[in-house]
Each structure stands twice: as C-alpha cells, then as structure tokens.
Amino acid sequence: MSNIILASKTSPHMNAYEIIIRQATMNDMAMIQQLFVETIQSSCKNDYSEEQLVAWISTVVNLDRWSMALSEEYFLVAVDEGKVVGFGALKDGNYLDFIYVDQTYQRHGLAERLLHALENEALKQNSTSITTDASKTAVPFFTKMDYQHVHENKRTISGMEIINYRMEKSF
C-alpha cells in the first residue's frame, strides 16, 4: 500500500498538520498500545464505568494478541510528525478489529479516512460485507458511516461485563 496523505488543514484545536496513513510495523506497537489506552480513557469515560474501563484497558498487556494483529491483519496507522494519532485493522478481510483515533484528532475526518481505507481493502479481498463490535461510544460513528446494528454483545473481561454492539455494512 502506498501512503495516503490526509491533506494539510487547520482546525481551532490544532495547528496545520499533514497526516500520513500507512501500514503498521512492529516498531509502531508501543505507540499503538499507548493510543489504545489513552483513547479508551478519554473518549469512552461517559459510556462505561471506571471499573469497565480498567478491565478493557487491561487487554493492552496481551502482547501475543497485539503482535498477531500487527503481523497478520491489514493494520494501518495514521502518523503526524512521527506520532501515531490513529489506527485501524481489518481481520480476515471482513472484520474491523480496531479503529481508534487520538482525542485531539477526532471529528476532523481521520476516522473516516481510516475506515474507508479498510473498507477498500475488504472490497479488494472480495468481501461483500464488513462487521465490527463497536463500543457504545463508537456506535454513532458507525451508524453515520452506514453500518447497521445487528445485536448487542456482552463480553466479560477481568470479571467485568462490557457491552458492545455488532455492526455490519454490506457492499
């Protein structure tokens, strides 16, 4: 994949920026994990209890899971001035495994760009639909992007029940 450049632009919250979207490498893992934790802490705090957030964040220590995702999935990172500010991954050609964006870069089109790149890859792999398990926080984003609610999931992590929602988009 060649790099995708999100055109330079400004917003009230940021200076001008140029974000490059590229395939992730193992060297990106620490920044990806840090962004995973920070995004859950900042963006999901109104939808989940503190105990649920702690349980969810605890999954960051599963290095085998992260290594496998980076090496086996179509895994993209969005980079601004050397820092990972967003990431997303497509598993098995039709499952959106991750999509996270730094809170200061949210609502500026970056998540949409990552999602479109992942959807395009799904199409290249001849998928007719794509699914994801979206957090309560992410459901409005996926709804806006034409994903349909399929069902509610109840997942237990470290003894805490966490609800998310299976979402699907047909091509």
Question: Would you state the CATH architecture of domain 4-128?
Answer: 3-Layer(aba) Sandwich (3.40)
pLDDT per residue as tens digits for the range 10-26: 444 445 558 999 999 99
> How far is it, in rounded angstroms, from Cα 3 to Cα 23?
8
Which tens digit of pLDDT belongs to each residue from 33-78? 999 999 999 999 999 999 999 999 999 999 999 999 999 999 999 9
The pTM of the full predicted model, rounded to 2 decimals, is: 0.90
pLDDT tens, 102-158? 999 999 999 999 999 999 999 999 999 999 999 999 999 999 999 999 999 999 999
d(CA 73, CA 89): 6
Q: What is the dihedral of CA 116, 118, 121, 122, to 10 degrees?
A: -100
Per-domain residue ranges for the chain? 4-128
